[in-house]
């Protein structure tokens, strides 16, 4: 388990500050341009924002746990929307397109992150990445790290590169990804493990394969948990 530190970088998400721990482990979901109807997505984001605001402004305790539960419910609802059957492109049903995404993810392994797990679904991609590979040995958890690439920058590299790779691989043109992405900071080993197995078993849940090991665009090794 990599050392979890309190140093953060900041970016804006939905007009609100969003802090990303330097050297942290993150789960990330990026989706195809038409994977979720915008109206449903906007409504879910608005409801999550309202729920977080109510937690922040009330006088009850356990705010962190309650906010974590809100984010968990949002994630599960997003999964429902991503797996719903509707008229859409499903670009990664094409094996060459899925492989192009996988190749792009591996391109930055041990450069910006270490890969813990990933799975490429027909219309979205799950990633679990450990950014501690960018932290020097003996880092004090405070000092700036020269050349550090935060999560937002790295996902930009992946999405930008993969868009070109996929379009070239399958003679496709046009927009590939929905703007932005959804991420969660992994708080501890239990959080990492739960997410790890959820991602690996996603193809089983969707009915793509009987066993996740049979899905060619899923990767993960549980040895990091020991």
| pLDDT the model gives residue 226 | 46
For 197-213, write each residue's pLDDT tens digit. 999 999 999 999 999 99
For 70-106, write each residue's pLDDT tens digit. 777 877 777 777 777 777 889 999 999 999 999 999 9
- Distance between start and end Cα atoms, the chain: 8
d(CA 171, CA 122): 17
Partners of 91 in the beta sheet? none
For 167-196, write each residue's pLDDT tens digit. 999 999 999 999 989 899 988 889 899 999
Q: Is the pLDDT of residue 225 over 60?
A: no
- What does the mean pLDDT of the chain come to? 85
| pLDDT the model gives residue 95 | 97
pTM of the model: 0.79
| pLDDT the model gives residue 92 | 96
- Look up tokens 């790290």; give the residue: 145
For 145-161, write each residue's pLDDT tens digit. 999 999 999 999 999 99
pLDDT exceeding 70 applies to what percent of the chain?
Answer: 88
- Helix-then-strand count for the chain, H and E: 6, 7
**Going by C-beta distance under 8 Å and a sequence separation of 6 or more, which residues neighbour residue 216?**
95, 98
**Going by C-beta distance under 8 Å and a sequence separation of 6 or more, which residues neighbour residue 105?**
115, 118, 127, 158, 162
DSSP conformation letters of 150-166: -HHHHHHHHHHHHHHHH
């Amino acid at each position: 388990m990599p050392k979890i530190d309190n140093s953060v970088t900041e970016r804006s998400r939905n007009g609100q500050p969003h802090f990303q721990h330097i050297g942290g482990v993150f789960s990330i979901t990026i989706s195809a341009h038409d994977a979720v109807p915008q109206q449903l997505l906007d409504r879910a984001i608005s409801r999550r924002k309202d729920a977080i605001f109510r937690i922040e402004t009330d006088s009850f305790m356990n705010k962190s746990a309650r906010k974590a539960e809100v984010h968990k419910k949002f994630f599960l609802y997003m999964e429902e929307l991503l797996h719903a059957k509707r008229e859409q492109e499903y670009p990664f049903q094409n094996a060459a397109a899925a492989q192009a995404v996988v190749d792009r993810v591996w391109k930055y392994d041990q450069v910006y992150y270490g890969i813990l797990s990933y799975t490429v679904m027909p219309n979205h991609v799950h990633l679990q990445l450990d950014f501690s590979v960018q932290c020097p040995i003996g880092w004090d958890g405070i000092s700036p790290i020269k050349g550090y690439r935060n999560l937002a920058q790295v996902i930009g590299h992946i999405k930008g590169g993969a868009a070109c790779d996929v379009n070239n691989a399958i003679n496709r043109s046009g927009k590939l990804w929905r703007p932005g992405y959804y991420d969660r900071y992994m708080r501890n080993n239990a959080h990492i493990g739960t997410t790890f197995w959820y991602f690996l078993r996603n193809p089983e849940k969707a009915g793509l394969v009987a066993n996740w090991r049979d899905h060619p665009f899923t990767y993960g090794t549980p040895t990091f948990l020991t």
